[in-house]
Amino acid sequence: MDLDESAPVPACFVFDLDNCCWSPEMYQMSSGSPFSHNSKTNVCTARGGRGEEVRLLGDVAEVWGLICDAPRFRGVRIAIASCCDEPKWAHELLRTFEVGAGRKMWDCVAHAEIHYGSKQGHLRSIAQKLGISLEHMVFFDDQIGHIGDARAMGVTAVHTPRNGVTWGSFEEALRNFANK
């Protein structure tokens, strides 16, 4: 990344899950929990049904690791805003996928809203629970309608229609936030 290290950073990065952090979307799976985890490939496999695999997309693991470890992001939080059809499966996957040496995704999460409802409702709840303003959040989602809803509230939002969160989309988020 070649961004200005002195540029402001958000108080919280908020991530959708299905088709943004991982694939497939939970509704597309014939079975789910319990999942087994291959630590060498960082892939989770449903033990029942057809043994379907869930994989992290793009650079999600590396981006989360950077947010958790880099001095620039000290005090910055990660939250989840997801309408995932299977919240229990999502929680299990968050507790299973790794984003660094032995660190699970869940270890990085300050607050999670994983249930049916509007993204605006999720984002408001996250802001309230974490005590931050919507203007100090960055949100990633694969659905353009959710991006529009977030932007209408003053949240910096980045559309991730293919490949999930990548270094490119993360850099875009930081640039957009700094230029608000």
Residues 135-141, mean pLDDT to the nearest whole number: 98
Residue 129 has pLDDT above 80, yes or no: yes
SS3 category, 171: helix
User: Over 60: is that where the pLDDT of 1 sits?
Assistant: no
Q: How far does CA 21 lie from the centroid of its chain? A: 5
- The reported pTM is 0.94
The chain-wide mean pLDDT, for the chain, equals 91
Task: Please say if the pLDDT value at position 25 is more than 90.
Answer: no
The arithmetic mean of pLDDT across residues 82-100, rounded, is 90
Name the fold adopted by 12-22+56-178. Answer: Rossmann fold (3.40.50)
Q: For residues 12 and 140, is the Cβ–Cβ distance under 8 A?
A: no
pLDDT above 70: percentage of residues in the chain: 94
Cβ-contact 121, 66 below 8 angstroms: no
Residue spans per domain, the chain: 12-22+56-178
CB 157 within 8 A of CB 55: no
Find the mean pLDDT for residues 85-97.
90
| SS3 of 88-113 | HHHHHHHCCCECCCCCEHHHHEEEEE
Of residues 39 and 15, which shows the higher confidence score? Answer: 15
- What sign does the dihedral 13-14-19-22 (CA atoms) show? positive
The Cα 156–Cα 151 span in angstroms is 6
**Interval 153-180: pLDDT, tens:** 999 999 999 899 999 999 999 999 999 8
